[in-house]
Amino acid sequence: MKPSDITANEHIPYFGLYIGKAPETTILEGLGIGLTKVIDILHAYPVEKHDYRYAEGKWTVKDMLQHIIDTERIFAYRALRIARGDKSHLPGYEQDDYVDPAKANDRSFEDMLEDYKACRASTMALFKSFDEEMLGQIGTASGGPMSARAAGYIIVGHELHHMEVLQERYF
């Protein structure tokens, strides 16, 4: 399975942006590639700029990393519920409402990287446990359809999107 196998009935159009950014690999391979890429990019980023904002009201690098972690946890949870056949309507979430309460800028960058790695290990273990039938399950999230496999590719592509933003606007 690759992201190009995901059909339009497996996600709302908004999420196509992220699925389209995922490499043509399995979800597990994409998660592994993303882990390496994020760690490499963040280690190359100057420590003194971890609290940098490229414009007024924009997120710091720490805020962005926390957003990646939070979003991964939310979409992994959605994938779990959908893969298990839960037909409950899973609500969307407002990403900006998570920024200030997370207090990312009060955390050490090393602690945040460990949190990211732990989150990724958990996500990889979860997706490793899914078979093709589970991945193909479709539920409802953010007001529309979502398959468990679409949720996985959204995690992969969402992270890549933010690494592109980091490299374009923060370096």
Here the tokens at position 131 are 């078979």
Determine the pLDDT at residue 113.
97
CA-based end-to-end distance of the chain: 34
Here the tokens at position 137 are 């399950």
Structural domains in the chain plus CATH codes: 18-169 (1.20.120.450)
Q: Which residues pair with 138 in a beta bridge?
A: 147
Digit-by-digit pLDDT tens for the chain (171 residues) are 999 999 999 999 999 999 999 999 999 999 999 999 999 999 998 888 888 898 999 999 999 999 999 999 999 999 999 999 999 999 999 999 999 999 999 999 999 999 999 999 999 999 999 999 999 999 999 999 999 999 999 999 999 999 999 999 988
3-state secondary structure of 114: helix
Determine the pLDDT at residue 141.
97
Determine the pLDDT at residue 70.
98
CB under 8 Å, gap of 24 or more: what pairs does 79-84 form?
79/126, 79/127, 79/130, 79/148, 79/151, 79/152, 80/126, 80/148, 81/139, 82/137, 82/138, 82/139, 82/141, 82/146, 82/147, 82/148, 82/151, 83/130, 83/134, 83/135, 83/137, 83/148, 84/134, 84/137
Determine the pLDDT at residue 147.
98
CA 72 to each of CA 25, 56, 97: distance values in angstroms, whole numbers, following the listed order: 18, 26, 16
Q: Which residues contact 39 (CB under 8 A, 6 or more apart)?
A: 113, 117
Determine the pLDDT at residue 171.
80
Determine the pLDDT at residue 170.
86
Strand segments (E) across the chain = 89-90, 138-141, 144-147
In eight-state DSSP terms, residue 108 is: -
